[in-house]
Structures are given as structure tokens and as C-alpha cells.
Chains A and B, each alone.
Chain A
Amino acid sequence: MFKEFHYQVRGHGHLQDGTPVQDRTKYLSRGGVQVLCLADGAGSATHSQFGAQAVVDEACTTLVNRFADFAASDDGARIKVELLEQLVSKFNQVANQHGVESRELASTFMCVAVSGERFLGAHVGDGVVGYLKNGELKVISAPDNAEFANQTTFVTSSRAAESMRLFRGSLEGVAGFILMSDGTAESLFDARTGRLAAACAKLIAAVGAAPADLSKTSKYTKRLRRLMDLKIRNATKDDCSIGILGRNLARTRPNRPVVGHQVPRGSHR
């Protein structure tokens, strides 16, 4: 089993202009599947905090329920369409509740799900997904910023399916994953080299080494939050969010696999 940490903090720019925190993170563990999701609501969308919450809620449930199907399928295009349809359907429902167009809920999206010795994930928009494998930090999915710094793709964008990166693989040698919004990426991802900051390995290791019975008020959680509240947040005006899955490889037993087909190797992009 992986241990997890996820957190979002309101950016200084949002504090100044009175907008709420529009990043959201969520973790769900059920039936041998662990899912971590992160979404960053668009600054221009009036209800994007609700959109980001809807995305992480719906994606966690969908991935817990469909992990075996998605992991076994070789039809990446179908998985993208199904996942997006699920998210957009939730958007429409939430938009109706608030009496707004669904584009007012615009949000990016990224997730990682693990079960047994397999993982899979998806990413739409900016932010970064990375992992620590055999002691080496690697980027799984880099930001999609189009040409300009203030442009990206959202779940509600017409080219969301085209932009979505779908990935999967074996958990052998994988100590953990890290998901981050663009605000956090300003400190933890080098845009010039396309590499993750060394801090990512330390964060994954810290989460993996944490005691199993964690509470939101534990010393461990407080220290991670403090890092986000101060160092990471002070490097940007944007909201900052992060999601980490970590495990101690030396003591690792395979996760209880979800019932399903054998997962083929490879990834869909």
C-alpha cells in the first residue's frame, strides 16, 4: 500500500483579489485501488472551484470502479472518451445546480491510480505528474501550455480528448508519485530542463516513511503543509496544490490487486 498526502493552499494573488482557492485534491482507497486526483480551476471561470471539486470527486469514484477495465484495455482512445464523458457529465450536473454554463467550471485534471503492481493515470492541461522509480525522478506528464504562459487545456475545452495524456505501467521499483498544479510546479519543476526538482524525491520518501496511522493533525502532515504554506506558496501568486503517493520499497508487499484482467504494458498518449 502507498501512503498519501494531498493538500491545496490559496495563492497570494487570490488573496489579493479576493478569489477563493480554485485548486482541489482528493484521495480515495477502495477495493484494492488507491486513487489520487488533482484539479486546478481556471482563473477566468466564475465557478471553477466547484468544477475542480467535481472533477476530483468524479475521477476518484470512476477510477476506483473502473481501474480493472481501464488497465486491461488497449483502446486508449476509448478510455479517454469514457473518462472525459464522465467528467463532463458531472460538470453539466454541477453547472445546472449553480445555474451557469459548464465552461464556467473549467478546470485542469490529473490523476494516478494504483492497484496490485500496476498503475495508470491521466492528465489534461498544465501542472506535472512525476514518479520516483529505481531511485530516479522522472516526469510522466509535463505541462500542456500551448504557446503562451496563460493558455492551457481544460476538461471543458474542445480539444481536451486530444490533449489528454493517458499513462500506465508496472509499479516494480516505483517508490511513489507526485502530482502538482502549475503554482506548485514553479518550485518543483524546472521548465527549462523539463526535470523535477530534487525536493520531489525527498517528499515522496518522507510520505513513504510516514507512520501508517496518519491523521490530519499529525506532526508529519503539519510539516508537509508548512512546506506548502511557506516555501512553495511564496514562490508564486497562484494557488498551490500537491498530491503524493509514497511507499517504502524495502518493506513493500504488493498491493492487493483489484479483480480484473492482466494489465498490458505500454501507455497511451
Chain B
Amino acid sequence: MATLNIGADDLVDNPTPRVPVSLCLDTSTSMAGSPIAELVRGVNLFYEAIDEDDDAHDSAEINIVEFNSSAGLVHDFASIERLPRISSLTADGLTAMAAGVNLALDTLEKRKATYSGSGVLYYQPWLVLMTDGAPTDNIEIAVKRVVDLVETKKLTVFPIGIGSRADMNTLARFSPNRPPLRLDGLKFKEFFEWLSKSVARVSRSTPGDTVKLDLEGLEGWAEL
């Protein structure tokens, strides 16, 4: 037979398919004090957990959108190695939840376009919406955008209520397929650990796989 000499140059090193995750976080005045401090700690633990998982490490790309009296990008999408760890977030102003959700969806769409343009495969994007209150802006358009995407299986959404004053009815409107979660106290750490494991599951999935969320893993720190 002809010599079969196949080296690294003859093969392709395709990029790992990505899981874009947008953390859409309430930084209104009511989050001041322990809630915002615990949230920052939880986000950084999330980054560490993603970093430690071989699969999630290569696939997860995360951004943070904050909303208070308006919405803003804390940092854009980046892989875990390039993600800046956040030292603090400032809690101030109202709860422009719709503006936050719309901005998060815009960034996800833009990221998907970037992937498509460069031939990088990607999984269904995730939107994690966390609030301790009720929106102070009109959420109708944002709700419709999210629901349309969820119902066409183009988005996975996790609405999370923080504390007893979170408006769970509003959060439920963003989640047509499953009820929102209410965190038990300020157990951000447990939530973000669970989230990182869920991201890892998705990043290991292959065509035809149905990724089921580990709902039993919610026990003790959240309720559906």
C-alpha cells in the first residue's frame, strides 16, 4: 500500500461548539448590601466551576448584562480564560428588567451571528434572568421575544427570584415551559454550581441528545 503518513497538518482542528450564556442581573437599589455581594461571589464561583470542567471550559462563553434604571453590558461574551472576574457590582436605581432582557437577547443574537460567520457551531443559547423585585418598565415586548424564542426551541431561559419580594408572576411570564426558581435565601453559590454542571451537560451533548436538567439537584436551595 502507499505510505500512510498522516500528520497534524493533514487533519483539522475544529473549534469546540459554544454554549453562549447571558447572565442578566438585577442591580437595582434593593439589591444593595448582602444580596449584591453574594451575587458577585456566586458569579465568580460560577466562573471557577466552568473553568474546572473540561468540557464546559472549552465551550461556555458568558456575558453579563445588568439592569437598574437602564441596562448596560458589564462585559461582553468571552471564553472562561478571557473572562474578567468581577470584583463588585453597584446596586442603584430602578428595575428596568425589560431593557435588561432586550439587551441580553440582542447580545445573544449578535454572538450567534459571529459564530455563524466564522463557522463555529453552537448550542441553544441560555438566558439567566435574576431579580429580587418587580420591573419598573414595560415588559410586554421583552416577554414576547423570550417566549417566541423558547417556544421555537431557540433559547433556554432560567428566571430566578431572589428573596421573598421577587415578583414570581412576572418571572413566570418569561418562562413558558417551566416555572421560575426562587432561591432559598441568598444561596447563589448552590445555584451557580448547579448552572455550571448544566452547562457542562449541554457541552457534552451530541446530535439527537435531549439534555434534561437535573431538577433533583435543585433541592435544598431553591424551589420551582
Known interface pairs A192-B14, A192-B120, A199-B10; A150-B206 also in contact (CB < 8 Å): yes
- A4 contacts partner chain B, Cβ-Cβ < 8 Å: no
Q: Give the interface size bracket for B toward A.
A: 20 to 34
A202-B10 contact, Cβ under 8 Å, with A45-B208, A150-B211: yes
Q: Is A269 an interface residue (CB 8 A)?
A: no
Chain A residues in 8 Å Cβ range of B14? 186-187, 189-192
A183–chain B nearest beta-carbon distance, Å:
8
Interface digits, A81-120 against B, CB 8 Å rule (1 contact, 0 not)? 0000000000000000000000000101000000000000
Question: Which segment of B1-9, B71-79, B213-221 sits at the interface?
Answer: B1-9
Quick one: given A147-B154, A186-B14, A190-B14, are A199 and B6 in contact (CB under 8 Å)? Answer: yes
Residues of A in contact with B (beta carbons under 8 Å apart): 13, 40, 42-45, 48, 106, 108, 125-126, 145, 147-152, 154, 182, 186-194, 197-199, 202-203, 205-206, 209-211, 219-220, 223-224, 227, 231-232, 235, 237-238
Give me the interface of B with A, judged by CB distance under 8 Å: 1-6, 9-15, 17, 118-124, 154, 202, 204-211
**Distance A220 CA – B119 CA, assembled complex (angstroms):** 35
Give Cα A104 to B112, complex, Å.
31
Q: How far, in Å, is A193 (CB) from chain B's closest CB?
A: 7
Q: For the complex, what is the distance from the CA of A145 to the CA of B210, rounded to whole Å?
A: 15
Total cross-chain contacts (CB, 8 A)? 110
Closest approach, in angstroms, between the C-beta of A52 and any C-beta of chain B?
Answer: 11
Q: A209: nearest residue on chain B (CB-CB)?
A: B2
Q: Is the CB of A190 within 8 A of B1?
A: no
> For B204, what are the chain A residues with a Cβ–Cβ distance below 8 Å?
13, 237
CB A102 to nearest CB in B, in angstroms, measures 14
Given A149-B123, A187-B12, A231-B11, decide whether A202 and B207 contact each other with a Cβ distance below 8 A: no
Q: A43-B205, A223-B4 in contact; A145/B11 too (CB < 8 A)?
A: no
Q: Closest chain B residue to A41 by CB distance?
A: B208
In addition to A151-B207, A191-B120, A232-B11, 6 A-B residue pairs with Cβ atoms within 8 Å of each other are: A13-B206, A145-B121, A152-B208, A187-B12, A189-B12, A189-B14
